[in-house]
Every structure is written in C-alpha cells, then in structure tokens.
Amino acid sequence: MIAIDRIFLHERTGASALKSLEEAGRAPVDPARVFAVMDHIVDTRIGRGDGTLMAGGDAFITETRASCRAAGITLFDVNDAEQGITHVISPELGIVLPGCTLIAPDSHTCTQGAFGALAWGIGSSEAEHAMATGTLRVAKPKTMRVNYNGELPAGVTAKDMILHLIAQEGAGGGKGHIVEFAGDTVRGLDMEARMTLCNMATEFAAFSGIIAPDEKTISFVEGRRYAPSPLPDWSDLHSDTGAQFDREIEIDASRLTPIVSWGTSPEHSIGIDEAIPADANASALGYMGLQAGDRIAGQHIDVAFIGSCTNSRITDLRRAAAIVKDRQVAAGVLALVVPGSTAVKKQAESEGLDRIFTDAGFEWRNSGCSLCFYAGGESFPKGSRVISSTNRNFEGRQGPKIKTHIASPEIVAASAIAGEIAAP
C-alpha cells in the first residue's frame, strides 16, 4: 500500500469515479490534493461553452463540475486561464513534484514521471480508492533502465526516441516494469522533451516512466503556483551508482532517425526513409491501405494534426512554426493546431506563432485533447489519412476508418506543407 500525494481527474473518466464515490456514500479524504480539469471531450473550437460536439457530452462537463463543487475539489473549468490537458497543466501549475506520487484515471499520467515523480495511470475504481483512502494497493513493478547516449542527429526528437524503443522492443516490451530513462541524451533534453519521452511509456505497456530530477527539473518547478517555496532538497532522488535493474537497454541516440508509424500499433513504426517491412502485419496493412515494401515518405495525406499530451507544449509549437513559417499548407489538406493548455495558447499568441500557423492555412484552436481520439462528435472525413503528433495509431482511434500515422510535430508540419508524409 502506498500513499498517494496528488490525484488528477478529467471529465471523461473522473466524472465516473466521482459519481461512483458519491453513490457509495464516500468522499475524498483530502480534497485539497485532488484536482480536476475539462480536457477530454471539451469543445476545442474558438468560442466554446459547455456544449460538446459529442451528443450528450455536456453531461460529463456539468456532472464533473457539480461533483467537484460538492466534494471541494479544485476544478480548472472550460474557459479558465489554467485549463488544458491534464499532463500539460499539472506541471505548469507545479502540481506534480519530484518524489511525489501522482495518479489519474488516464493512461498518459506517466508523462509526469519526467519530473522524477512516481506518476501512473489507473482506472476509475482505483481513482475512487485513492480518493477514499489516500492510498493505493500496488504490486511492486520490476525495474528497467533505458540508457540513451550520444548526440541526437538534427531533426530527431524525444518522440523519435520513444517510438524507436517501442518499435524495437514491441508494444508489450515494458510490461510489468517501471522504466527509468537515463543517459547523456536524456539529461540533454529540456523538460518538455522529457515529458514527450515519458508520455509514451504506456504505449510500451510499462507501469510508468521516470527520469531523475536535475537542475532543469528544479528550475522548471520553482515558482509554480502549487510548488512549495522554498523548494525542498530533492538532490537524492536518483538511482544509486551500481543499482541493479531487472533489465537494461542501451540505445545509441546518435544513430536514431525521424520515425513515422505505418500500422495500427505504435510498434508498427519505421524510419521516415524506410520501406514497410516484408513481414508487416497483414490486418494492419489492410486497415491502413498500404503494402509491405511501400515507402512511408511520400504517402499522400488528407489531414495534419498538431496537439495532444505528447506534443502540444510551447517548444513543440515553436519547432513546428519554424517549419511552416512563410509557407502554405498543401491544397486539400486540413491542418490544425490544438495547444496543450490555455497558457500555452496565450504564450504562443504573444510570440506570434498563431499568426504563423493561420497564415500558412492551419486552424488555430482552444486547448483540449481534441481530435487525438474520436468521442463521437467531431472527426476527419471518413477514410482520411492523418499525420498526427499524438500517441496512438489504433484502428478508429481518430474516427471510423481514419488512418493515423504518428510522428513528431516537425514531421507533421513538414507533411502539411508537402501534402504527403515528409521529413522537415
């Protein structure tokens, strides 16, 4: 049994947990350490209210709001300045801290392991358990360390680092393990890139991902709204020298390339200059309308989507904007940018990034999870091929018959301009 320091809920699965807790006649033991946000099905079009494009979706929003109020939970509401995707705003607000435990009924909670927190995704029942008892019953995971060493080649990002690992080891490769990401390359990443790396630990079937905090972590956390002042000493939060792991993997980061997924699992990923392997899964190929031997670069696209808890932070938007600046989205391509938080949106606007995107022909939206998944309201035209900075290329994830290719925001931006999957 371990103590849970922070709980984060969103309207999609958090509402179920709060409702069930109420029905059982229970209440959160310490609501001051529970936070909630509207991110999953909230409308991301400009001028939004409680209405969602998904029929009946507004009930999730109004019920979450009412439950939070009744339980005394801090809610970042639809049009609040703090609103945004859970795993973007929790770090922005200093809610996640090095050495703390944080859980959310959301699989991408592992993102926040980038701060040296033990942060992991759970179901609604476990969220109820954590709220009602302040604890969770957890089977101790095995340990894995993935060491990335060497300088990343130009145009290769944290997204490529994690897709490479999943492609190499399989989508089940991290099962049962908590994965520490370590090595020179990881230490060289800024905090936002570290979040991208940890974000997809769940696509690796890991219990979570974690990175030892360092001076970059400390300077990111310092001064955030919910962070303590002065900060405590976190300098001992690292694996001991000579620590033994159940498994260690070494990756030469200098040999990595930009990566794009070709199939319906993140493990179906290859270098952008490569061809789909001869032994590629037949049903994945069938769904994606591709054949073994096809090159991934040059595939015509209908949609380019920049957003999600993986790649929607300010540095992601800056890098994508640098690629689209003074250029135009290819004719017939629908291109969108959905900032990770309202604060990211505001920051981007103060830097003029919104104008760079809209001048190029991108749609510029309000923050939320948006079209990372299809909740039943808004989707892309049926059968569209989408290049997406998100984390899941599952069948139907972005809508019926939608063919999703996941990649870095750089590749999404370059592909939007080219009208086909293209390197920056």
Partner 1 sequence: MTPFTTLTSLAMPLIRDNVDTDAIIPSREMRSTGKTGLADGLFAPWRYLDVDARTPDPAFVLNDPDFSGAQILLGGVNFGCGSSREHAVWALSEYGIRAIIAPGFAPIFENNCVRNGLLPIALPADIVAMLSGQKVAVDLPAQQVSCGADIWRFDIGSEAKMMLTEGLDAIDLTLKHGKAIAAWQEADRTARPYIYLEKQL
Query: By CB under 8 A, what part of segment 142-181 binds partner 1?
Result: 170-172, 175-176
Question: Is-contact 96 115, C-beta < 8 A?
Answer: yes
Residue span binding partner 1 (CB under 8 A) among the ranges 104-112, 293-301, 319-327, 359-367: 104-112
Please state, in angstroms and rounded to a whole number, the distance separating the CA atoms of residues 194 and 212. 11
Nearer to partner 1, 177 or 345 (CB): 177
> Minimum CB separation from partner 1 for residue 38, in Å?
13
Residue of 24, 243, 282, 322 that binds partner 1 (CB under 8 A): 24
> Minimum CB separation from partner 1 for residue 271, in Å?
21
Q: Which of residues 321-380 bind partner 1 (CB under 8 A)?
A: 373-376
* Binding of residue 1 to partner 1 (CB under 8 A): yes
Nearer to partner 1, 124 or 367 (CB): 124
> Minimum CB separation from partner 1 for residue 253, in Å?
26
Residue of 7, 9, 15, 162 that binds partner 1 (CB under 8 A): 15
Nearer to partner 1, 32 or 278 (CB): 32
Nearer to partner 1, 205 or 292 (CB): 205
* Binding of residue 218 to partner 1 (CB under 8 A): no
Nearer to partner 1, 30 or 151 (CB): 30
Q: Which of residues 113-142 bind partner 1 (CB under 8 A)?
A: 121-126, 128-129, 132-135, 137, 139
Residue 393 zone, left/alpha/beta (φ > 0; ψ -120 to 50; rest): alpha
What string of DSSP letters covers 223-281?
A: T-TTS-SSPP--TT-SPPTT---SEEEEEEGGG---EEE-SSSTTSEEETTSBPPTT--
**Largest interatomic CA distance in the chain:** 58
Please state, in angstroms and rounded to a whole number, the distance separating the CA atoms of residues 323 and 424. 7
Residue span binding partner 1 (CB under 8 A) among the ranges 143-151, 238-246, 259-267, 299-307: 259-267
Residue 404 pairs in a beta bridge with 386
> Minimum CB separation from partner 1 for residue 223, in Å?
14
Question: Nearest-CA neighbor of 261 among 53, 405, 378?
Answer: 405
> Minimum CB separation from partner 1 for residue 248, in Å?
20
State the alpha helices, DSSP H only, in 57-170. Answer: 58-71, 86-92, 124-133, 158-169
> Minimum CB separation from partner 1 for residue 199, in Å?
13
Nearer to partner 1, 262 or 362 (CB): 262
Residue of 36, 37, 38, 100 that binds partner 1 (CB under 8 A): 100
* Binding of residue 81 to partner 1 (CB under 8 A): no
Please state, in angstroms and rounded to a whole number, the distance separating the CA atoms of residues 38 and 27. 21
Q: Which of residues 299-328 bind partner 1 (CB under 8 A)?
A: none
Please state, in angstroms and rounded to a whole number, the distance separating the CA atoms of residues 198 and 252. 18
Nearer to partner 1, 359 or 378 (CB): 378
Please state, in angstroms and rounded to a whole number, the distance separating the CA atoms of residues 107 and 147. 23
Residue of 48, 50, 54, 292 that binds partner 1 (CB under 8 A): 54
Residue span binding partner 1 (CB under 8 A) among the ranges 54-62, 214-222, 250-258, 410-418: 54-62
Residue of 26, 48, 142, 355 that binds partner 1 (CB under 8 A): 26
Please state, in angstroms and rounded to a whole number, the distance separating the CA atoms of residues 370 and 43. 7
Q: Which of residues 381-410 bind partner 1 (CB under 8 A)?
A: 392, 394-397, 400
SS3 of residue 22 by DSSP? helix
**377 Cβ neighbours under 8 A, 6+ residues apart:** 41, 52, 53, 54, 55, 57
Tell me the backbone φ, ψ of residue 147, rounded to 5 degrees.
Answer: -100, 115
What string of DSSP letters covers 308-356?
A: TTTS-SHHHHHHHHHHHTT--PPTT-EEEE--SBHHHHHHHHHTTHHHH
Nearer to partner 1, 172 or 277 (CB): 172
> Minimum CB separation from partner 1 for residue 55, in Å?
8
* Binding of residue 228 to partner 1 (CB under 8 A): yes
Tell me the backbone φ, ψ of residue 113, rounded to 5 degrees.
Answer: -65, -15
What string of DSSP letters covers 144-213?
A: EEEEEESPPPTT--HHHHHHHHHHHH-TTTTTTEEEEEESHHHHHS-HHHHHHHHHTTGGGT-SEEE---
Nearer to partner 1, 16 or 415 (CB): 16
Residue span binding partner 1 (CB under 8 A) among the ranges 27-35, 152-160, 238-246, 288-296: 27-35
| Count of positions on this chain that bind partner 1 (CB under 8 A) | 71
Nearer to partner 1, 155 or 396 (CB): 396
Gap between the terminal Cα atoms of the chain:
47
